[in-house]
Structure 1
Amino acid sequence: MSELDLRVRAVNTERGVVEPALEGQFPALRVLAPRTVYAAGQLALHARPDGASPQVTEALHGEALEVLEELPGEHPPGGWAWVRTLHDGYLGYARLDGLSGPAPVRPVTVQVPRSHLFAAPSIKARVLTRLGRGAALSTLDSHPARHGEYLWWRVAFGEGEAYLHDAAVQPPSGDLPTFAENYLHTPYLWGGRTAWGLDCSGLSQLWAGRDAHSRSRLPRDADQQHAATTPVEKPEAGDLAFFPGHVGIMLGERRMLHANATHLRVTVETLGEGEYGRRLQAGLLGFGRVGAGP
């Protein structure tokens, strides 16, 4: 039996549980019964059911997850759940109170890198939460309404309603220069997936699914993305560059956009140029091209 990737395959021998797909390999373990839920707010997924453990990824507001196992009361305050993000199959632990969101109805999706949700249809109103690209909210009306100078969507939030500026749902250009401009200098955040903070593979995931014409879905981590792309010898703009535990987006043959802990933000490097560029060049594993998707 090949070694299982426990980032995406749910088996925990300490708790004696296994996902249904692996039941045959672990007949002595209790088989879990997954159910689908939705993230309420931008939700951190941790390595362990403990808020002090590292964040491994994030779920966006309105994003679907699969609850594999609830661990109520074991780690106060409140309970935790072992969950899987359905868009890329990644496993982590999330607070139960972050899984209370209903399935988005007639959803409107945030298209800009980052935005805010307001308590009233005014840019001066109280901010209820922040939203990253891909967050989905249930609309309460069939179209946005004008309030003052701007159009606003009235959406469901918690037990009440909130307002999202119409500009937040207008998709930007999907070209690479615009993408790079939108995410350049974004803070680096381990496990982050939005322009509020992201890591290297979170950035490449955003690039792969940047618009309606590029529906490719990459796995979560750099090594998984390396395995999922088509190797190329000479990179073109938009191809991915892979290093041990790292990935970047090529802007040309040598220039690369990447989220990195060296600068703690998204920067542009030239492979082979300068001290950092030479280190990157020395560790280069190869280039990969993202498929066009279905």
Structure 2
Amino acid sequence: MPPAPPSAERFRLVGPSVVLDPRIHAVRRDIADIGLADRVFAPHYSAPEVSACALPAAMLRAAPDDDAVAVSQLVQGEAFAVVDISVGWAWGYGLHDCYVGYLRAEMLGPLVAPTHVVTAPVALVFATPDIKAPVIATRTIGARLHGIAEGAFVATAGGYIHARHLAPVETPVADPVAVAETLVGAPYLWGGRGDGGVDCSGLVQRALGLAGIAAPRDSDQQRSLGREIGEGEALRRGDIILFPGHVGMMVDDTRLIHANAHWMAVTIEPLDTVTGRGAAIVARRRIA
């Protein structure tokens, strides 16, 4: 189960407000997460209510408007802490990374304890436990579902998914780069984390997340991952390479996999080719 949002027991008003990163702290002029009451003053505080994405996927937006820029994406079953609901829009943050944004309240539903997570780029949902049965829906990589094994399938509330497209939630994928490699060719989508496309930091976050490694949402935040690779150390599979506003993962000692706007897709190419286009490396991080 995801961690519960901060409780009201932390409520303490002392000292001046501090400046917090609004991407990962739910604070506005009119309201704030009660868990931040020891750091910021707000006219109102709210104890978040935890729900989950009820659709195959939902874009998290910077403002309560369907035309507002997407800042991230939730997929089915991922937990979302609702701090405020107004005019049909929920404002809060995903519990997997605390990233703040808006989505339509109708996109949320009750949080159900998941048993399985989708590890394929797209998992087909069949009407019956038979690969020849009609496909009635799809689920996106990272979707968290409750199901019961039935032979080669897992029975979920929405239909049957082949077990090869799933993994038990308590069993991390062994190789995060292998996860990223399954998404080669996926469209580059700003804010995407797998459904319909993915952006650079979304690719890294999704790959590491399925390997049981929590990662922040944005590339500059991902500079906190692991340890800095020394100047004389050779790169290896799984190393994180950061550029200004961009990030990718090493497939081996010379090639980078990344979701990029140059090709508008997830691609594998020599790291030297990427830097040759003018992308300066700002950090090299090793997870383990």
TM-score normalised by L of structure 2? 0.83
- 1:90 maps to which of 80, 88, 99: 99
Unaligned 5+ segments in structure 2 are 1-16
Instruction: Assess if the C-alpha contact under 8 Å between 1:132 and 1:194 holds in 2.
Output: yes
Instruction: Assess if the C-alpha contact under 8 Å between 1:114 and 1:196 holds in 2.
Output: no
- Check if 1:131 corresponds to 2:129: no
Deviation at 1:180, TM superposition (A): 4.9
Aligned to 2:111: 103
- Overall identity of the aligned pairs, in %: 35
Instruction: Assess if the C-alpha contact under 8 Å between 1:144 and 1:166 holds in 2.
Output: no
Aligned residue runs from structure 1 range 53-72, under 5 A = 53-72=68-87
- 1:225 maps to which of 217, 222, 226: 222
Q: Deviations over 1:57-104 (max 9, x none)?
A: 1111111110010013xxxxxx1100210011111101111102x333
Task: Give the whole-Å Cα distance in 2 for the aligned partners of 1:217 and 1:122.
Answer: 35
- For this pair of structures, how many residues does the alignment match? 265
- Check if 1:144 corresponds to 2:158: no
Q: Deviations over 1:132-187 (max 9, x none)?
A: 22212222x4x214xxxxx3322113xxxx22222212589734664454121111
Task: Give the whole-Å Cα distance in 2 for the aligned partners of 1:61 and 1:52.
Answer: 22
Aligned to 1:148: none
CA 1:208–1:181: 2 relative to 1, 3 Å: closer
Bigger mean CA deviation after superposition, 253-262 or 120-129: 120-129
Q: Deviations over 1:29-69 (max 9, x none)?
A: 20112011011121211111111111111111111110010
- 2:165 maps to which of 164, 168, 192: 168
Aligned to 1:287: 284
Instruction: Assess if the C-alpha contact under 8 Å between 2:275 and 2:281 holds in 1.
Output: no
Instruction: Assess if the C-alpha contact under 8 Å between 1:183 and 1:195 holds in 2.
Output: no
TM-score normalised by L of structure 1? 0.81
Q: Residue 12 of structure 1 aligns to which amino acid in structure 2?
A: R
Aligned residue runs from structure 1 range 1-294, under 5 A = 3-13=19-29, 16-41=30-55, 42-72=57-87, 79-100=88-109, 102-105=110-113, 107-123=115-131, 125-139=133-147, 141=148, 143-145=149-151, 151-157=152-158, 162-170=159-167, 174-175=174-175, 178-194=178-194, 196-211=196-211, 215-233=212-230, 234=233, 235-273=235-273, 276-280=274-278, 282-291=279-288
SS in 1 for 2:277: helix
Deviation at 1:245, TM superposition (A): 0.7
Unaligned 5+ segments in structure 1 are 73-78, 146-150
Q: Residue 135 of structure 1 aligns to which amino acid in structure 2?
A: A
Q: Residue 194 of structure 2 aligns to which amino acid in structure 1?
A: T
Bigger mean CA deviation after superposition, 129-138 or 118-127: 118-127
